[in-house]
Structure 1
Amino acid sequence: MTVRRRRVLAAFGAVAVLGGVAFAAPTSASKPGKTTDIQILAFNDFHGNLEPPAGSSGTIQTGVGSDGKPVTVPAGGVEYLATHLEAARAGHENTVTVAAGDIIGASPLLSAAFHDEPTVEAMEKLGLDITAVGNHEFDEGIDELRRIQSGGCHAVDGCADPENPYDGADFPMLGANVVDKNTGLPALPPVWVKNFQGARVGFIGMTLEGTPNIVAKEGIKNLAFKDEVKTANLYAGLLRLIGVKSIVVLLHEGGMPASNVYNYNCDSPGPGDGISGPVTDIAKKLDSSIDLVVTGHTHQSYTCNIPDPSGNPRMVTSSSSFGRLFTEINVTYDHKTRDIVRTSVDASNHIVTRDVTKAEDQTALIAKYKELVDPIANRQIGYISGDMPGRGSTKPESPLGDLIADSQLAATAAADKGGAVIALMNPGGVRSDLVYKASGAEGDGVVTYGEAFTVQPFNNNLTTISLTGAQLVTVLQQQYSGPNQASPKVLQPSEGFTYTVDNSKTGADKIVTGSVKLNGTALDPAATYRVTVNIFLADGGDGFAELAKGTDRLVGGLDIDALEAWFTANTSATNPAAPLPANRITFI
């Protein structure tokens, strides 16, 4: 027996022990012919957005106007997503609905206040059959993720409704490349097989290998996250071994298309030429037996053919985020070869418009949880005089990112709170915009606690550390080097901390070292500065290993509390906060 065959059999044995190969009940339909048509509906990065997202998070770009500006339409909201999916299924005898991770985590208060149980319930109602896990499924650690899957009361907060305890998700959550360090076995089910009238399709679900760099470490300390290509190819071999030749990968890793228009053709001038990023390298190396790759993580929209190792085009899809799009994929299964006819694969993204009838069961679900959370969510905490772009900013430094950094500096500047002179905020922690126009009854320009929580949903503790000036420069360089070289993560600086980025350079050299100043004075490489970041960054998250070397650590209050305190202390109806110019970083 070959080494490879032994490894596949060993993996199969491990999965069988865990019940990881799940066989869904076959669809009941007429006797199949030589082929079977199958519809796959897919979405990704829902992030608990049950209500229609606000600001840029609630629009989809449909084109570019004559003035060169994006043309957008409102999109998203689970009441509309459910309706669109139901309409898409009409006329399709064999259909399955799948997701590529981050269905929960980094969610607005309506879902997060109940540890995303409302989102799981909403996914069940709209007919989700299977999902891969993403990095945000691990925000509260593996034990909480297993509770989300299996049910039970939260370890700390208990059950929202003790008389009707949370009963778990009725759809499997796959994590083929998530391994228990102690046993070497999969920590989550790796694969799932769906039977359509005798046409068996295997699904392999994975999160990105880099998950440990972008989630809190404590909850995943006993887990290893394996290489996506090696993992998918191993389980593709396992599926073929048990006779499943039609294979779909659900991958929480993605790419960046050359255009932000939702239906951009990234196969022009050739297959996959219009997309870049991690998914391109992964897709080119995935075993040729894999027929389709559904992706996520980058919050982009694309349907691209990227050549497989044999040089044949293979469809790779992604449907933006927050339930604003879904992808419809239609394939033909050949019963003679027991495989998907690759040339039959057709995929297109559809906008979740808000001009359709709302799904009544989703409306009732939202109303149920809103009644419980609204007294907290609707509490007014401050005022703004205009839109405050954060996640939707078109520039690396955002007005809202700077404001958050200012709020964290204000919360930790006092000597007994940390004595901070600088605060830095990671851009991925800014999840939305603050929108001036009222989305509820509170009035234009009013900032509610629920809106602030949507911007900062992680409940991270502020952490103040000591760094030398030389270390601070290294931190800035790590924005563009190491794990962040391919996709820079520009930290949002507090007021008074300035520096210059030279875009003609690459990597760490982009930071003009002599330009780094605090309140107009050049940073002293040998001096020590007190710096506040959230605890995720303080532990080296997002590729900022230098921050983990900080000394004299003082862990303080929550980031959301700091933001609320800043608004309460600095704004009023007659003195609203104006959008900051976001000019602390100079780009040349």
Structure 2
Amino acid sequence: MILLRRLPLFALPFLAACAAQPGVESAANAPRTVTVGIAAINDFHGNLEPPRQSVLTPDGKGGLRQIPAGGAAYLASALDAVRGQYANRLTVAAGDLIGGTPITSALFVDEPAIGALSRAGLDFAAVGNHEFDVGIEELRRKQTGGCSKYTKREPCQVEKFDGARFGYLAANVFLPDGKTLFPATALRQFGKGRDRVTVGLIGMTLEDTGALIPPDVAAKVRFADEADTANALVDGLKRQGADAVVLLIHEGGRTTGNPDPNGCEGLNSAIRPILDRLDPRIDVVVSGHTHWSYVCDYAKYNAAKPFLLTSAGVWGGLVTDITLDIDPRAGRVVAKKAKNVIVQSEAYVSPQKPIPVDPALPAFAPRADVKAYVDRYVEAARAFSQRKVGWLAAPLAKSDGETQNTGGPLGKLIADAQLAATRAAGAQISFMNPFGVRRSLTPAADGSVTFGDIYAVQPFNNDLYTLTYTGAELKAILEQGFDASGPEQILTPSAGFVFEYDRARPLGDRIVAMSLDGKLIDPASSYRVTVSSFLANGGDTFTGFAKGRDKTRGAVDIDALEAWLAARPPRAGPTDAREIDRNPALNTVRSTTPPGVRYR
């Protein structure tokens, strides 16, 4: 494992949010402590270049500010800044560093994502569900290096791949022989003599990973319960001298109210029942998966579980700055706090408006060595990425904020493309899940869009499947978008299919009308429906799709979108009403997310 270097300190945005362990001794009687700083990230998803997305943060006036953030070179500088405050420092991640990545990383089998984070000084990372997207053998290659080919893409196209300089941890990922895929734990020591302290790390993914990855990959490994696995490892870490225990877990939560990177209002989702079962000797839980940012003193939710819980959102837009004060004689953490630091990078123009750099917050400069490394891959991908593939009449925004659970015009465009691509299989309807739309789609001044543009919108390379369902089954599937098994997500249908819903009605009976080409859907009749392979396997809690019959495999989703946009005159964003809210007064995004949610 590489040694951490003392790095230059940049100015930091100090956002007031921290969680301190109850019962800390007074300053007069405080023990001699050793401070360890931890810089944490999650869900980087190979965003080498600034993702042209914002971090939302309170503006102090009851509203929100949009802060342009992200990009590997800017992230490296932010990590330097956080680490530069501490003599003893560690850099960790909570999974999904790769997979679902923009074309600049995906074209090269995510080698540059691994390379950029290695250069940025990452020490340890938990595996996430997307680490498994292209198989066990390829994931091992990501760790150890080499140019063996395990995917459709050629490895080592730009340079020999040396593998990650950081260590993957996979405590709950078991092979048929009973061994873990990667080590379950790691230890890092700081200081000398009586002032030596040891931080123990446990890394894992969510137990439900098998439902989120290709079935042939899932068949090769077993994903164990998160809390049971972590609890079984704490004693061993303590016996090895761990004064602090940090859990890196690719599972997470959501909060309610306005977005606040350092807030913890109404914490919910699948992380909560895990936390309630964890050994209280775990000091910090670094989480991910839900693409949500928060800093939580979990003792406010469960006094018996005084964890410091953190998440740095998504795409390298934030770094969590965690401070642990450890008493080496008592062998325990006596104080802990954290704050999320916005990786403010460069201005951009969104489909709605320009997003400038906010002068009220410090901006980071791109770190030169990481920028040069990223630029090399950007240039290598240029011909492939910048190939014009079609035309768009006007920008189409990814739905966000209170409309994030709807597909909007961009989701409708994708659904229409999928239907057109699978008509030969008898498709009559297509659905797009809004959470699968990753970016806005903005054409150039001449109306053209590139392959890189559309790949950023749909980076999963999902196959399209056309299946048969009865009208009653279609209603049950649409109801799952409103049920208690996940965040509300209103499926986006293709043109011609219209459904109406009413949140005032009981769960399971909120779909009040469905029609196709003006004719009411017959509960007993059969319909041919196209969805991505992810939905066809029950992803995003739409388990009803997995019950489809007469499955026909079609084009890859990105190919369908490219073919649809190739038409002239340029495609316009659909504006027809396909999902009709009969009770708009209740139109609020339900962020409460019980266990079992399958995020992308």
- TM-score for the superposition, normalised by structure 1: 0.85
Sort the Cα spacing of 1:161 and 1:132 in 2 relative to 1 into closer, same or farther, 3 A.
Answer: closer
Residues in 1 aligned to 2:485 and 2:245: alpha-carbon distance in whole angstroms = 32
Q: CA RMSD in A?
A: 2.4
Aligned residue number for residue 128 of structure 2: 134
Matched letter for residue 338 of structure 1:
G
Residues in 2 aligned to 1:234 and 1:165: alpha-carbon distance in whole angstroms = 39
Sort the Cα spacing of 1:205 and 1:366 in 2 relative to 1 into closer, same or farther, 3 A.
Answer: same
Residues in 1 aligned to 2:547 and 2:210: alpha-carbon distance in whole angstroms = 18
Residue 374 (structure 2) aligned to one of 366, 378, 395:
366
Residues in 2 aligned to 1:151 and 1:587: alpha-carbon distance in whole angstroms = 55
Residue 249 (structure 1) aligned to one of 247, 252, 272:
247
CA contact (8 A) 1:177 1:186 kept: yes
Aligned residue number for residue 397 of structure 1: 406
Deviations 1:348-388 (A, max 9, x none): 11110123321111211122112221111111223334331
CA contact (8 A) 1:147 1:168 kept: yes
CA contact (8 A) 2:469 2:526 kept: yes
Aligned residue number for residue 552 of structure 2: 554
Q: Within the alignment, does 1:346 sit opposite 2:341 as a pair?
A: no
Runs of 4+ aligned residues of structure 1 deviating over 6 Å after TM superposition are: 23-28
Matched letter for residue 487 of structure 2:
S
Size of the alignment, in residue pairs?
534
Deviation at 1:544, TM superposition (A): 3.1
Residues in 1 aligned to 2:536 and 2:291: alpha-carbon distance in whole angstroms = 26
Residue 233 (structure 1) aligned to one of 231, 234, 240:
231
Deviation at 1:540, TM superposition (A): 2.9
Aligned residue number for residue 301 of structure 1: 293
CA contact (8 A) 2:498 2:577 kept: no
Deviation at 1:311, TM superposition (A): 2.5
Sort the Cα spacing of 1:364 and 1:24 in 2 relative to 1 into closer, same or farther, 3 A.
Answer: closer
CA contact (8 A) 1:260 1:300 kept: no
Deviation at 1:144, TM superposition (A): 1.8
Residues in 2 aligned to 1:155 and 1:264: alpha-carbon distance in whole angstroms = 40
Deviations 1:113-168 (A, max 9, x none): 11110000000110000111111111112222112112222324575446943221
Deviation at 1:89, TM superposition (A): 2.0
Q: Which stretch of structure 1 is more off in the superposition, 356-365 or 110-119?
A: 356-365
Q: Within the alignment, does 1:435 sit opposite 2:424 as a pair?
A: no
Sort the Cα spacing of 1:445 and 1:392 in 2 relative to 1 into closer, same or farther, 3 A.
Answer: farther
* Aligned partner of residue 169 in structure 1, secondary structure: coil
* Aligned partner of residue 97 in structure 2, secondary structure: coil
Aligned residue number for residue 406 of structure 1: 416
CA contact (8 A) 1:159 1:165 kept: no
1:78-157 aligned at under 5 Å gives the runs 78-153=72-147, 154-157=149-152
CA contact (8 A) 1:386 1:579 kept: no
* Aligned partner of residue 508 in structure 1, secondary structure: coil
Matched letter for residue 432 of structure 2:
M
Q: Percent identity?
A: 41
Residues in 1 aligned to 2:471 and 2:63: alpha-carbon distance in whole angstroms = 41
Matched letter for residue 339 of structure 1:
R
Matched letter for residue 191 of structure 1:
T
* Aligned partner of residue 366 in structure 1, secondary structure: helix
Sort the Cα spacing of 1:156 and 1:224 in 2 relative to 1 into closer, same or farther, 3 A.
Answer: closer
Aligned residue number for residue 12 of structure 1: none
Deviation at 1:296, TM superposition (A): 0.8
Residues in 2 aligned to 1:363 and 1:587: alpha-carbon distance in whole angstroms = 50
Matched letter for residue 368 of structure 1:
R
Aligned residue number for residue 39 of structure 1: 37
Sort the Cα spacing of 1:563 and 1:339 in 2 relative to 1 into closer, same or farther, 3 A.
Answer: same
Residue 426 (structure 2) aligned to one of 419, 441, 445:
419
Matched letter for residue 268 of structure 2:
S
Aligned residue number for residue 504 of structure 2: 504
Aligned residue number for residue 566 of structure 1: 564
Sort the Cα spacing of 1:157 and 1:276 in 2 relative to 1 into closer, same or farther, 3 A.
Answer: closer
Aligned residue number for residue 161 of structure 2: 166
Matched letter for residue 499 of structure 1:
F
Matched letter for residue 472 of structure 2:
A
Residues in 1 aligned to 2:395 and 2:525: alpha-carbon distance in whole angstroms = 38
CA contact (8 A) 2:502 2:511 kept: yes
Aligned residue number for residue 476 of structure 1: 478
CA contact (8 A) 1:228 1:282 kept: yes
Sort the Cα spacing of 1:378 and 1:394 in 2 relative to 1 into closer, same or farther, 3 A.
Answer: farther
Consecutive unaligned residues in structure 1, runs of 5 or more:
1-22, 267-272, 437-441
1:275-294 aligned at under 5 Å gives the runs 275-294=267-286
Q: Within the alignment, does 1:493 sit opposite 2:493 as a pair?
A: yes
Matched letter for residue 557 of structure 1:
A
Deviations 1:302-350 (A, max 9, x none): 1110128663532111111111111101111111122221xx1010111
Q: Within the alignment, does 1:185 sit opposite 2:179 as a pair?
A: yes
Residues in 2 aligned to 1:349 and 1:279: alpha-carbon distance in whole angstroms = 19
* Aligned partner of residue 542 in structure 1, secondary structure: helix
Residues in 2 aligned to 1:366 and 1:120: alpha-carbon distance in whole angstroms = 11
Matched letter for residue 99 of structure 1:
A
Aligned residue number for residue 13 of structure 1: none
1:17-32 aligned at under 5 Å gives the runs none
CA contact (8 A) 2:293 2:313 kept: yes
Deviation at 1:39, TM superposition (A): 0.2
Residues in 1 aligned to 2:255 and 2:146: alpha-carbon distance in whole angstroms = 41
- TM-score for the superposition, normalised by structure 2: 0.84
CA contact (8 A) 1:495 1:584 kept: no
* Aligned partner of residue 313 in structure 1, secondary structure: coil
Consecutive unaligned residues in structure 2, runs of 5 or more:
7-30, 346-362, 584-600
